[in-house]
Amino acid sequence: MDIFIDQFFNIEIMRKSFPLLLSGLWMTLKLCSAVILLGLIGGLFVALGNMSERRWLRWISIAYTDLFRALPPLVLLIFIYAGLPFAGINISPFAAVVIAFLLNNSSYYAEVYRAGLISVAKGQWEAAQSTGLTPAQTLIHVVLPQAVRNVLPDLLSNTVEVVKLTSLASVISLSELLYNAGMARSVTYNASPLVLAALFYLVLLWPLVRLVSHFQRRLAA
């Protein structure tokens, strides 16, 4: 039992690896912000393309969402990180991770937005347009707020997935939370840093998960 506690809950080792993990957490947060923010914006445009009256736009956005939801994000990441240099394009590990997960993530956000946009009654579009609002104004002020409210739990769930997804970046040695925890583990021959990292993820995600449940219940009511 003592060996177990020493291996997994060694306070001394946790304390020592804390700064390294904190810097990993910082990197994870930067990754998340970039992927989530760009994903929320990109996903909206993909969703709008998907619902466009122009057939070619619909086709492109359907191909986009199908492709990047079907490709495993890790495959996408390695492909971009290891493949692009062969094409003469050199990008930083950070950029590679952001691009790879953005492609994946915006596809999922797009599907969520689409469900949200469809859920808003057609009459809302018609009422707004009949008062002289442009299509863009109608979308921004009338339709989107309702659409987002209707799919808030799904948007949040997807955001939780993004945070978890970023741990895959350790594969290409980007020093995010999981990667740094692995480093600390191999230096100390002790699993406690991994436990600490798990705690960080929990602290980060538990409120989000709670929020999802909260909104789900509120929407069901």
Partner 1 sequence: MANRPMLEVVALEKRFGPNTILKKIDLKVAESELVFVIGPSGSGKSTMLRCCNRLEEPTSGDILVNGRNIMAGTRRDLDRMRLQIGMVFQGFHLYPHMSVLKNVTLAQRKALKRSKAEADARAMNMLEQVGMAHKADAYPGELSGGQQQRVAIARSLALDPKVMLFDEPTSALDPELVGSVLKVMKDLKSKGMTMVVVSHEMAFARETADRVVFMDGGVVVEEGTPDEIFGAPKAERTRAFLSRVSG
- At 177, the amino acid letter reads L
Among 19, 72, 85, 145, binds partner 1 (CB under 8 A): 145
Task: Give the closest residue to 73 by CA, choosing from 158, 148, 168, 151.
Answer: 168
- At 110, the amino acid letter reads A
- What's the distance, CA 38 to chain centroid? 9
Of the listed pieces 67-75, 145-153, 164-172, 173-181, which binds partner 1 according to CB under 8 A?
145-153
Is residue 128 within the footprint of partner 1 (CB under 8 A)? yes
Q: How far apart, in whole angstroms, are the C-alpha atoms of residue 211 and residue 27?
A: 24
Of the listed pieces 4-12, 38-46, 90-98, 134-142, which binds partner 1 according to CB under 8 A?
134-142
Q: How far apart, in whole angstroms, are the C-alpha atoms of residue 36 and residue 42?
A: 10
In the shown chain, the binding pattern of residues 68 to 107 toward partner 1, with x for contact by CB under 8 A and - for none, equals ----------------------------------------
Q: How far is the CB of 149 from partner 1 (least distance, A)?
A: 7
Q: How far apart, in whole angstroms, are the C-alpha atoms of residue 31 and residue 18?
A: 20
Q: How far is the CB of 143 from partner 1 (least distance, A)?
A: 9
Of the listed pieces 9-17, 53-61, 143-151, 179-187, which binds partner 1 according to CB under 8 A?
143-151
Binding site for partner 1 (CB under 8 A): 121, 123-124, 126-134, 137, 141-142, 145-146, 149
